[in-house]
Structures are given as C-alpha cells and as structure tokens.
Amino acid sequence: MPDVPGRVRRSAIIAGVLLFLVLGLPACAGREAGAEPAPGASGVAPPPEPAYRGESIPAYDVVLTIGTDGVLYVRETITYDFDRAGEHGIVRHVPFRRGDRLYEVRGVSSSSSTGAPARVRTTRFLHDVQISIGDRHREVRGRQAYVIEYEVRRVFTPRADHDDLLWDAIGTNWDVPIGNAAVRVQAPVPLRHATCRAGAPGVTTRCLRDRDGPYAIDFVQNALAPHEGMRIRVRLPKHAIAVPPPRYVPPRWTGHWTGTAVLALGLAAVPLLARRPAPPRGTGAGLAAAGTLLVVADAGDDVAASGPWAFSLGDRCLAGLALMIVGAGIMCVRRTRSARYAADDRQGGLQLAGRDVN
C-alpha cells in the first residue's frame, strides 16, 4: 500500500516552498533594495513612473451629430503628444458591444493636419472596434493631430415617451492623461435634456457646460486621468428622429464561476489520467457523448432564437466541454497503453524465439 501520508506531507512541503519563493523573495528583495538609498535620497521609495512615459493628449475635441435617420455621426480631433518616444500612431477603441447590445460602427476614416501618417485599419477585438491610425514602418514624435470620423448605428434606445442616447464620447481605454476634453452635441431638434458625466466607470462627476444653444450643447472637462471618459446622455422627444430597433445578441461567454470551475477541473484532470488505472473502455466515449449533448443543447437555444452565429458559452456548454475533454483524455490514455502493451508483447515474443533458436 502506498505511503499516502508521506506523499501528502511531501506535497505540502513543496507547496510551502513554492509559496515562499513566489511571495517571500520579492518582498525580501524590495527590503534589500530599499535598505541603502542612493546618495542624496531621503530613503522614501519614489513614486512609480506613470505608464504613459510622458505621453499625453493635450486636447480632445468631439462633435456628436444626431441625424434624423437615427445615425450618430462622430468626428474626433485628437491632439496627441508622443513626447520624445517614437510611436507608429494611435489606437482608438470604439465599442460595438455592451452586454447583449450590439452597435454598428461604419464609415471609419482618418486624416492628420500635422502631416503624420493617417492610414486607418479597423479590427474587431472582444467588445471594441480597434481603429489603428498610422504607419507600421514609420515612427512619429512630438505633438501630432489626428481627425477620426465614423458612424454609429442602432445606438438609440426607444422608450415609451422618448428616445435615449447614452454614449462615451472619448472612451475609457486611453492609457495617457487628457488635458482638455470638449464634446459638442448637435441635434435636429432642441436639446432640452442633455447631460454629461466625466470620470472612471462608477466614479463620475458632472461635466462643465461651456455654451448652450437650442440645437447644440458643449461640455468641457479638464485634467482627465488615464481610463477616464465623458459619458453623454441625451433624451429626445418621441418621433423626433427615426430610431431603428436595437439589436441584442447574447455574448459569446455567458458562463458563471460554476461553469468556469467545472471546465478548469476538467482540464486539470487530464494530466492525472496517465497516473491512474485506465477506466473501463466505454467510459471515455460515454463522457464525450454526454458532453457533446450538453454543448448542442446549450448552443441550440441561442441559434434557434437569433441565428447560427449567436451561440454563446454558458454553464451547460462549459460543463459539456469539460466532459468532452475528460472523455477524450480517457480514450487517448487507453489507446496509448494498449499500443504500449502490444509493443511489449512483440518484444517479449522476439526474445523468447531467439532463446529457442539458440
């Protein structure tokens, strides 16, 4: 009988050593580094350098024009200071998905009044459209100005007595501070209900109003930190513009911690299969078949409701994937061991035959 307590004890010792190496050594290194400050230093650890390395956006001007066709026309003028570090351009993240809600970002174009390369490339990544502006083979330095124009469709939300627009005008993906930000909202009807909140998600403050007019309102905000934006909310009277119905599609990953934990356990169980006795022959095929049924059942609901590209990974789908992985691992282990035993038998037979001949 194997020494189970001994194995447990050895595993605990190894885990403790690894935990000390991961958590203890960095702290000790930090204390040793701070024990002898450099000449002229006060001994207090200096603040960490900002992630943007001196880069910043001195001015960010946005014009949001609400069309009578229900399209939001966006024009952004971004003055970007690359400081002394050479970069190939800028990247603007525009959302096309928020939860189940999908927007349509179209007609992207760009230009530069300072002569910087302004070639535009768009890529969908996760929930945003990445608008890359610049040249991969040419670096720019100093202060440059870029103009980005695009359209956003299906962004208005129809209500019983009005239509809503909720839009982050500058986004929260910028890793650099913004000195002065200004957002102008223009509409074909008088803007009686328009507000702006600036700051990070969950921690915002009211924007300042610069100029008000019957059909346009200007909001300004100074000294925005990295990942802080300006969220505009406009309420239009019903039938003021044509509002197409919003489009809702479930996200691709809808699983909670339970489904994710089951999938993680399934992945962790695969290396252990090679160290354990092989389960019965039909176990692997049965688990794989059961997992396939769970995946089909979970994705079938979304496909039947919203089309073939609307499937998502829910808890049932994640559990099905875990069963499929474990079942495939069992079948692979059995096949590998069967091939090994067959090879051993052939080698043993050849050795016996050689002995008989001699």
Residue the block writes with tokens 């290396």: 271
Separation of alpha carbons 207 and 45, rounded Å? 36
* Tens digits of residue pLDDT in 268-313: 877 877 777 767 767 878 888 888 888 888 777 766 665 555 667 7
Confidence label for 38 from pLDDT (cuts 50, 70 and 90): very low
The structure tokens listed for 177 are 């501070």
Judged on CB neighbours under 10 Å (0-12, 13-18, 19+), 72 is buried
Separation of alpha carbons 1 and 256, rounded Å? 41
The structure tokens listed for 130 are 């990445």
The values of phi and psi at residue 110, to 5°, are -150, 160
What is the secondary structure of 44-95 as a DSSP string?
A: SPPPPPPTTTT-EEEEEEEEEEE-TTS-EEEEEEEEEE-TTS-BSEEEEEEE
Contact by Cβ (8 Å): 322, 263: yes
What is the pLDDT, as a whole number, of residue 349?
Answer: 54
Helix spans in the chain (H): 4-35, 257-273, 281-306, 315-357
Domain locations along the chain: 56-237, 250-345
Separation of alpha carbons 173 and 285, rounded Å? 46
What is the pLDDT, as a whole number, of residue 87?
Answer: 87
* Tens digits of residue pLDDT in 152-201: 999 999 999 999 999 999 999 999 999 999 999 999 999 989 999 999 98
Contact by Cβ (8 Å): 274, 330: no
Name which of 136, 66, 150 is nearest 108 in CA terms.
150
CATH class for domain 56-237? mainly beta
What is the pLDDT, as a whole number, of residue 347?
Answer: 65
Low-confidence winner among 42-56, 61-75, 248-262, 296-310 (lowest mean pLDDT): 42-56
